[in-house]
Amino acid sequence: MVARTSPDDVDRALAAIETAGTDALAAMRRMVGVLRGQDAEGARTPGAELREVGTLVERFDPDRRFVRLTTDPGLEHAVLPAGVAATGYRVVQEALTNVRRHAPEAAHVEVDVRIREGALQVSVRNDGVPRVAAGPRAGAGGFGLAGMSERVLALDGRLAAGPTAPGVWTVSAWLPLRGTR
């Protein structure tokens, strides 16, 4: 409507909308940060279990054209500490979400979930990562990798996320099965 009635005011109106939106997102992120600080038990809350990883992968790639899931036989029936199982699931979920957001051209995604050396080991590897990463957008930062890291560290685990080859991104988590807090 502004464009039709006052074309000279369009830039000013759009700038005001952008500023209001950015301010609202920043306020929401601060609130989420405050809430996270108050709930240190969040990473240990029982949630989705590893037996649901197959369903998660199927929802991400219903035709199973580009995602390959590999697990230890019987892993879906393994009795793991609730926090470990839920965090393993959440790492896969967030990594697949990041593939969709940041590597929409991915042609191959490997999800690997295994028990090795007294720990649950989760790895999600994908291609399709742009060679030149786009610069950060104002207010675009989220809690994806930070949230994964918080969950994993709360269980005395380790998380690595980053490029592992040209055009390839890998998220790996190591979650101990004993001695977790």
**Domain chopping of the chain, boundaries:** 39-176
pLDDT of residue 137: 41
pLDDT attached to residue 1: 75
Q: CA angle 134-172-167, nearest 5°?
A: 35
Q: State the fold for domain 39-176.
A: Heat Shock Protein 90 (3.30.565)
The pLDDT assigned to 67 comes to 95
Average pLDDT, consecutive stretches of 10 residues, N- to C-terminus, the chain (181 residues): 80 80 70 51 48 92 93 86 87 94 93 94 94 48 76 93 94 86 46
Please tell me the pTM assigned to this model: 0.68
- Direct distance between the N- and C-terminal alpha carbons of the chain, in angstroms, rounded to an integer: 58
